Structure 1
Amino acid sequence: MAAHRKPRQHPLTGPAARTAATLALAGAATTTALDGSAHAEPRLTPAQLKARVDTLYQEAGEATEKYNGAKERTAQAREALDALRDEAARRTERLNASRNALGSVATAQYRSGGIDPGLRLALTSDPDEYLARASLTERVGERHAAAVAGVHRRLVDLGRLRAQAGERTAELERHRRELERHKAVVKGKLAAAERLLARLTAVQRAAYDAGPADPARADRSTAPRGALKAPNGRAAQAVAYAYGTLGKPYVWGATGPSAYDCSGLTQAAWRSAGVSLPRTTYTQINAGQRVSRAQLAPGDLVFFYSGISHVGLYIGGGQMIHAPRPGAPVRVAPIDQMPFAGATRVS
C-alpha cells in the first residue's frame, strides 16, 4: 500500500512571497546605506586633509596640557600623602612608646599588690621616710597623669592624620582618573591624525612634517641666535638651551632631555637658567610679566590659540623655538605660523 504524503507547502507563496521579498530587499538596501554612512569617510583633498590633521593636533595639544596639569596634581597629591604617612608613622612610634611607659607603671602597681599609695605611706613609722615618699608619690602621680594625657593627645592627633591621609588618598585617586581620561583623549586624537596622514603620499607626508616653507630662513642651523641679544643672562641661557634641543623629537608629556612637548621644552629651557616655571601652558602664561607682541625680546614665552594650548621660546626676528607636535621635531619657526594669543617675560 503506497504511503500518501502531503505536498510540501511553502509558508509564503504568491503575493505574500513577493511582498516579503520586496521588504527583505528594502531592508538590505537600508542596512547597506546605513553601514555606508557610518563607515565611509568623505574624500578629502590633500589641503582639506592637512587642515583636519592640524585641528586634531591642536586638540591633542590642548588635551596634552590638561594631561600635564593632571600629572602635576597627581604627583603633588602623592607627595602630600607620603608626607602624611611618614608623619603618622613617627607619631605612631611615639604613641607606642608612651603606651609602653604606661604599661610599665601598671605592671609595677600590679606587682606591688595594688595597695593605695596613701595607705602604704600611712603604714610607715619613720616620719622622714613618710614625707619623702609622699613627695615622690605626688610627683609620680603628676607624671602618670601627664603621660595618660599625652597618650590621649597623640591618639587624637594620629586619628586626625589618618583622616587627612584618607582624604589625600581619595584625592590621589581622583587625579589618577583625571589623568587617564586626558591620556585617552590625547591618544585618540593622535591616532585619528595618523589615520588621516596615512592617506597622504610619501612626498605629501614629508612636506607636511617639514612644516610651512620659510624662504627667509631656509637654513635653520644658520639662523641668528637671539641669545646674543637677550635682555639678561638668564634669558640668554634659556635661548641657548633651546637651540641645543633643535632636532629632538616631540613626545607628549616629555620634559627632556631626550624629548619634549611644547611646555616641557620652555620649562626645561628656563630651568637651565635657574628659573622654575609651572608645567602647563595655561599656568606658564601667568609666570611672569605680560608683554605685547611689539615688545618681544629673546627668552620671552609666546603663546598660541584661544585656549593657550601651545607655547614657544622667542629668539628674536619674529622667530621662536618650539616643539610642534608628534612627527615634527623641535625647530625654529615664525611666530606668525599660529594664532598669537599672548606673551610673557620671565623674570
Structure 2
Amino acid sequence: MAIAGSSRPCHGQGRLVALLLTLMLLAGCASRDLATQDPRPGEGLSIERALILATAEGALGTPYRFGGNSPEGLDCSGLVELAYRSAGIPVPRTADDQFRTLPEARQARPGDLLFFGDRRKATHVGIYRGDGQMIHAPGSGRKVVSVPLDVAYWQDRFLGAASPAP
C-alpha cells in the first residue's frame, strides 16, 4: 500500500491492522461463555435458593439507590446481599468482592450470581432467575428488573458465575 503522492509503502498501517486483529483475537479468547443450567422437571431447588429467588422477585420494581441494600432502594450488590441474607447466607458487599471471594460455578443455576465487568474488575452482579433471565438493579433512575441474558451486551461483559447457595 502506498501513500498518495508517495512511492513508499505505508508499513505503519499494516502493523496497525495486524495489531488490531491480534487484540480482537485475544479479546475473543479471554471471554467466558455464559452457561446456565435450569432444574429438570420434577427436580426442585434447595430452600435457600427458593428464598433467594423469592426475595429477588419480591424486589422487582424497587428503585435503584447507590449503596442501597434494603427494600427502600437497592444497587446491584445490595440486591444480592438482601436476597442472600433472607436465606441466611452472608456475602461480601461489593460486586467485585463477591466475584473474587465466592465459589465459582461453571454453569449458573437459579439463585446463582452472574458477574459482569471489564476483565479487571466485576462492576455489576445479578441473580440468575432461570429460563435465561437475570434479576438485577440496573442503575440510577431505574428499578430492579428481570432481563434476558441472550443479549450481546451481557454476553460481551460476562466474567463468571458464583454459587454460594447449596
Structure with bigger gyration radius: 1
User: Cα RMSD over matched residues?
Assistant: 1.7
The yes-or-no answer on 1:342 pairing with 2:160 is yes
- Quote the offset at 1:288 in angstroms: 3.0
Partner of 2:16: none
3-state SS of paired residue (1:243): helix
In structure 1, what is the Cα distance between the partners aligned to 2:101 and 2:54? 20
- Quote the offset at 1:229 in angstroms: 6.5
The yes-or-no answer on 1:253 pairing with 2:105 is no
Q: 1:303 aligns with which of 87, 91, 115?
A: 115
Alignment of 1:84-163 (within 5 A): none
Return the letter of the residue paired with 2:125. V
Alignment of 1:47-58 (within 5 A): none
In structure 2, what is the Cα distance between the partners aligned to 1:244 and 1:332? 11
Q: Unaligned stretches of 5+ in structure 2?
A: 1-41
3-state SS of paired residue (1:333): strand
The yes-or-no answer on 1:332 pairing with 2:146 is yes
CA deviations 1:290-325 (Å, max 9, x no partner) are: 112xx2100100001122100000011111100000
In structure 1, what is the Cα distance between the partners aligned to 2:144 and 2:43? 21
* Sequence identity percentage: 42
In structure 2, what is the Cα distance between the partners aligned to 1:286 and 1:254? 21
In structure 2, what is the Cα distance between the partners aligned to 1:302 and 1:320? 8
Q: 1:316 aligns with which of 123, 130, 140?
A: 130
Normalising by the residue count of structure 1, what TM-score does the alignment of the two structures yield? 0.33
CA deviations 1:25-53 (Å, max 9, x no partner) are: xxxxxxxxxxxxxxxxxxxxxxxxxxxxx
In structure 2, what is the Cα distance between the partners aligned to 1:229 and 1:238? 17
The yes-or-no answer on 1:267 pairing with 2:81 is yes
Q: Does the Cα contact within 8 Å between 1:291 and 1:345 map onto a contact in 2?
A: yes
Partner of 2:57: 243
Q: Does the Cα contact within 8 Å between 1:230 and 1:297 map onto a contact in 2?
A: no
Q: Does the Cα contact within 8 Å between 1:299 and 1:314 map onto a contact in 2?
A: yes
CA deviations 1:59-114 (Å, max 9, x no partner) are: xxxxxxxxxxxxxxxxxxxxxxxxxxxxxxxxxxxxxxxxxxxxxxxxxxxxxxxx
In structure 2, what is the Cα distance between the partners aligned to 1:310 and 1:252? 12
CA deviations 1:253-293 (Å, max 9, x no partner) are: 1111211000000010000001111101111123432112x
3-state SS of paired residue (2:82): helix
CA deviations 1:217-255 (Å, max 9, x no partner) are: xxxxxxxxxxx9763110110010000000010011111
The yes-or-no answer on 1:278 pairing with 2:96 is no
3-state SS of paired residue (2:52): helix
Alignment of 1:7-18 (within 5 A): none
Q: 2:48 aligns with which of 225, 229, 234?
A: 234
Q: Unaligned stretches of 5+ in structure 1?
A: 1-227
Change (3 A) 1:318 1:230: farther
Normalising by the residue count of structure 2, what TM-score does the alignment of the two structures yield? 0.66
In structure 1, what is the Cα distance between the partners aligned to 2:44 and 2:138? 23
CA deviations 1:144-170 (Å, max 9, x no partner) are: xxxxxxxxxxxxxxxxxxxxxxxxxxx
| Structure 1 or 2: more helix by fraction | 1
Return the letter of the residue paired with 2:69. T
Change (3 A) 1:230 1:322: farther
